[in-house]
Amino acid sequence: MGKYRKYTPETKVRIVLEILRGDKSVAQASRDYQIKDSLLYRWKDEFLEGAKQAIAYGKPTEQKRRADKVAELERLVGKLTMQLEIAKKASHFVKCLPPESEN
């Protein structure tokens, strides 16, 4: 039974990029590196899917903008909650006051 070879992520990326850039075909890379072409196709598909997901999540600046917006909204919720509590207490206080006489 053959021993499985392990490849580092860096090696996989280097080989996949050679294929994607057109430096080598899958068949040529398979021969040069003695890796089954089915494995190279799988690495290529995984690489492209990972790239697609990385782009879909947006740029770090977009993430920061969203985080800043969330923080701003959380501050607003806190402020409005405090105002609501003050209004409730004031309403309760006004109800407890004796009615003023008109004289």
pLDDT of residue 103: 59
Confidence of residue 13 (pLDDT cuts 50, 70, 90): very high
Give me the mean pLDDT over the 20-42 stretch.
97
| pLDDT tens track for 66-81 | 899 999 999 999 999 9
Is the pLDDT reported for residue 1 higher than 60? no
Token pair belonging to 72: 């701003």
pTM score of the predicted model: 0.54
Q: How far apart are CA 44 and CA 59, in angstroms?
A: 23
Q: Are 18 and 24 in contact (CB under 8 A)?
A: yes
pLDDT of residue 70: 96
Class of 1-57 per CATH?
mainly alpha
